[in-house]
Amino acid sequence: FFFSSQCNVSASKRIYEAFRSTHKVKVAVKLRTEYGPVLHMPVLKEGRVKGALSTDPYDTSGYPPADGGPEYLITGTHPYPSAPGVALTADTQVQKMPSEAGVHSMALALPPSQARQDAARTAASVGEIHRHAGGAERSQPPQHTLAIMEGGMKTSALVPRKAPTMPKPQWHPPWKLYRVISGHLGWVRSIAVEPGNQWFVTGSADRTIKIWDLASGKLKLSLTGHISTVRGVVVSSRSPYLFSCGEDKQVKCWDLEYNKVIRHYHGHLSAVYDLDLHPTIDVLVTCSRDATARVWDIRTKANVHTLTGHTNTVATVKCQSAEPQIITGSHDTTVRLWDLIAGKTRATLTNHKKSVRAVALHPRQYTFATGSPDNIKQWKFPDGNFIQNLSGHNAIINTLAVNSDGVLVSGADNGTVHLWDWRTGYNFQRIHAAVQPGSLDSESGIFACVFDHSESRLITAEADKTIKVYKEDDTATEETHPVNWKPDIIKRKRF
């Protein structure tokens, strides 16, 4: 029995050894087959004899190149800026830096103007690379710049560069409150002035639209039909129509000769937050919490385009006759410029870091402004090139308006109104009007503001259920209300 057991153990060992050797052969063949083509990948040259083979035939660390050519090198990271990786040495630094003599000889061979540009650019970059090699990334102090001399010669002299200053802003008279209009039973969310400048219309959270006499402030008419907050109103300059939209997903066209709804525009899947009319063609554009803007043919009620691309609520929309014809601002922090013909995005502006709830187009210049809790930003059409930031209105900005004199008005959730000089971004006045008696201090938000067509009055729609009307102070002068301006260094961010 003992002898039989020993035989069984020996047989088991032999079987196991045979299996193990067979497995090793299979693994070796598999490695050779699958990984053989890549075994000539880069190897570190340092500390190795060229062409030496390891005792292990599948040791990838010493495997020679497959094509018999020169041994590959691990080049590591570029020396500027420094980063983790293989340290650069004389052997591993394959990308040799050009010598200054080579740079200058190349510069002399080129035409003079090209020579100056190329030599200046190359000499500066070579100097920077050598200066920064192996060290942490650094940047030049903003007040100095490396001087590049004529003919491609480089000098190490540091020439101080003049810091940018804010130009002197234009003087604007301050605005003062002269009328408070009551009548709505809920937050007043939207305002529009009719083209004849005789009356204006407001939409409210009390689900009504009210028409007011602009001169006297008296109520002329109330329109009912929405079943939720009216978020947007606009009056057509081409026909006797008033358009409204609300949180009930409805977009309505009112005939002001009969004071009744004559058309509905169906399509939005959620609350409609804003709308605007194209100034030259019969097109209406609406935007919604469903993250889309829709273009409607006013007469046929057809949904011409559905503008998709925003990833969150589209809070505001503006139209103009020039390209781009539609501008939208969204809670996804972006501003989009749209091609009306194609129905596609022309440009996306991503500079804002928070929701964009307000857009205002300058009436004379080819520029516009966008409002967000982080900043008010100014842009150039048609591509949306950034101009400057207007910082200081530290609140959720719900509305913007700008007039021909270059007065930009921003209204915020905390009840403050700031007035800015458009050209310089100088904040020349701040207003925080008292809330209506009986209202809470927290109910002091500004939801909409607009200049009338004479630009002599500013109308605001507020959370205390009132409409406030402001006008310029006729008694103010530059002596009584001087511009508190100093040519300080501009500290505004450029992004």
Whole-number pLDDT of residue 400: 98
Whole-number pLDDT of residue 182: 95
Closest CA to 494 of 334, 415, 385, 416: 385
Provide the whole-model pTM: 0.67
Whole-number pLDDT of residue 203: 98
Burial readout 369-394 (b: 16 or more C-beta within 10 A, e: otherwise): bbbbbbbbbbbebeebeebbbbeebe
CA distance 260 to 209: 12
Closest CA to 469 of 235, 218, 206: 218
Cis preceding-peptide flag for 111 (omega within 30 of 0)? no
Whole-number pLDDT of residue 14: 77
Whole-number pLDDT of residue 437: 80
Whole-number pLDDT of residue 18: 76
| Amino acid at site 74 | I
Whole-number pLDDT of residue 367: 97
CA distance 245 to 290: 14
Whole-number pLDDT of residue 155: 45
CA distance 155 to 141: 17
Max CA separation in the chain (angstroms):
125
CA distance 282 to 236: 9
pLDDT in tens, 50-73: 444 444 444 444 444 444 444 434
Coil vs helix vs strand at 185: coil
Query: 232 forms bridges with which residues in the sheet?
Result: 245
Residues of the chain with pLDDT under 70: 1-9, 30-166, 487-495
pLDDT in tens, 434-464: 888 877 777 789 999 999 999 999 999 999 9
Whole-number pLDDT of residue 17: 77
